[in-house]
Amino acid sequence: MRNFIPKISYFWLTLLISLYFTFVVNFPVLLHFYQILHALPAYKIGFAISIPFVLFAALNFVFTPFTFKPVFKPFFIILLLLSGLASYSELTYHVVFDRSMIENIVETQQSEASSYLNTSVIVWFVLTAILPAVLLFLVPVKYNQSVIKRLGVRILSMLVSLAIIGAVASQYYQDYASVGRSNRTLNVEILPTNFLYSSSEYFYHKYLTKPLKFEKVGTDAKLVQKPGQKPTLMFLVIGETGRAQNQSINGYDKPTNGFTQKTSDMVFFNHVSSCGTATAVSVPCMFSDMKRVDFNNDRAHASDSFLDILQRAGVSVYWKDNDEGCKGVCDRVPNVTIPTTKDGKFCDGETCYDEALLEGIDDKIVDDGKNKVIALHLIGSHGPAYYHRYPDNFRYFMPDCERSDIQNCTHEQLVNTYDNTVRYTDYVLTQVIAKAKKYQDKYNVAMIYLSDHGESLGEDGLYLHGTPYSVAPPQQTHVPMMFWLSPQYVAAQSLSLSCLQSEAAENDYSQDNLFHTVLDAMDVKTSVIDPSLDILKSCKTAQ
């Protein structure tokens, strides 16, 4: 077949590849750029015309060093395949491939990754990645110049690329700077430099940086309980992808919290912000003593979470997972991840409904007189296959979207499907409460629920989550939190429930509060507790 394909010089082939990456692979970037210009009251025509020229020149400059014969085809074939998937993600979900997104991708389990596969992504991948890669593999490349001459051509090509960029910058630097300052994700949208740089940054920090020395936190922790007080049983439920905007307790016009709103002794928090926009950041952050503003994931993985502190103080701790793992926070306490093996009840072989978390949980609540924390990590509203997160009998809001290529559903279908996940999570929380109530004769029981981050459902063209926090919309950072505190628990802690409900409705909170609140809620005293971040402290009637 190669005999029928004309030979092409490495030089012209490099320009063709740069042209392909400019107008096909980076179509989402160009589209975003021109959408930004369209929204401006005025802009220079020359500036608008220059954008693809600058992108082409920059790509040619970056690609040229990789055009030596031994690496040319392998490098660009791999690049085409990776960029095809990345381009689809940017165009469809507006994914930004920064370091945290690479971390999310690397840590995503196979069952979750498969939920992103659908007809649309397969067609896109075949047309924009596989076919060009096959064509590149088959095309004969000419290297009919001397080594010195080829080197000179490459250097000249790179210099011309720099000259084009410089010429445009001399005329429109202020325009590029202005758009860049106002749209800070643009620099991490350009393919393939965005995911190549972010991947190298991630792997450097993960595998080449000297690990931090593990730091124990709260080494002075001790359990302090009133004489004769029953032990505490706390269910700590960590949600997934729950956004506050779609909670009827926050004024949403659909009954997504119809189950918990009928439950007495509930405390709903109206204003809670997340630490990150992805599980890999938010979960380690909310279990750490660090605040969002100074959070460092490397340090979090090399130090105790509050689960470690609880366990050190004598609290029995157990983590059960139905999501992507605990991101390191449960590594040193007893933990288990639910196997997705098909059981005909809650698991279908690929995923499990969150009710599966309560199966067998009674075995972990032995009557030994110890305070206990049972942490349950929900799969909650994990997308894009939202319809997999609730059973058929919870298809309450209709019509829903029974597909993972959610951009091909109507907005009504998409929101209905997401709302069904919220309603199902709400139901699961009432089942957790019912489980806790079974142990009221032996324990003072309580439940805390907090979601890790929110979700975009097409607002401003954004889908899913993971947008850099500095530019993330509130749909991804405003999360639901609720407490259920039994009357016995309230009495034992000398709490005013009405005070707590009032403050929850009016005050602003964040995931920074969880560390300090849970330690106090479990009667653990340590110098690392910040009283100003303890939600319960101001509503205790007797200190």
> In the prediction, which pLDDT does 533 show?
98
Answer whether 450's CB lies under 8 Å from 306's CB.
Answer: no
Give the residue among 189, 183, 178 at the shortest CA–CA distance from 29. 189
Residue 470 has pLDDT above 60, yes or no: yes
Residue 184 has pLDDT above 90, yes or no: no
Is the dihedral angle over the CA atoms 521, 526, 528, 531 positive or is it negative?
positive
User: What's the Cα-to-Cα distance from 393 to each of 239, 382, 397, rounded to whole Å?
Assistant: 21, 19, 11
- At residue 159, the 3 state secondary structure works out as helix
User: What's the Cα-to-Cα distance from 532 to each of 465, 512, 536, rounded to whole Å?
Assistant: 30, 11, 10
**Burial tier of 192 (Cβ tally within 10 Å: 0-12, 13-18, 19+):** buried
Residue 3 has pLDDT above 80, yes or no: no
Q: Which of 40-44, 222-226, 230-234 has the highest mean pLDDT?
A: 230-234
Residue 98 has pLDDT above 90, yes or no: no
Residues 322-350: tens digit of each pLDDT: 998 999 999 999 999 999 888 889 998 88
The tokens describing 233, both together, are 């049983």
Given pLDDT bands bounded at 50, 70 and 90, which one contains residue 100?
confident
Q: Write the single-letter amino acid at 152.
A: G
Answer whether 351's CB lies under 8 Å from 323's CB.
Answer: no
**By mean pLDDT, which of 69-83, 101-115, 211-225 is the weakest?**
101-115
Task: Quote the CA–CA distance of 11 and 504 in Å, as a whole number.
Answer: 64
Task: Quote the CA–CA distance of 81 and 78 in Å, as a whole number.
Answer: 5
Residue 543 has pLDDT above 60, yes or no: no
> In the prediction, which pLDDT does 226 show?
80
Residues 369-424: tens digit of each pLDDT: 999 999 999 999 999 999 999 999 999 999 999 988 888 899 999 999 999 999 99
> In the prediction, which pLDDT does 308 show?
98
Q: What is the mean pLDDT of residues 69-84?
A: 95
Residue 500 has pLDDT above 60, yes or no: yes
Which pTM does this prediction carry? 0.85
Residue 64 has pLDDT above 70, yes or no: yes
Task: Quote the CA–CA distance of 503 and 518 in Å, as a whole number.
Answer: 17
Task: Report all structural domains of the chain as residue ranges with CATH numbers, in order of start.
Answer: 2-207 (no CATH), 224-477+486-539 (3.40.720.10)
> In the prediction, which pLDDT does 111 show?
64
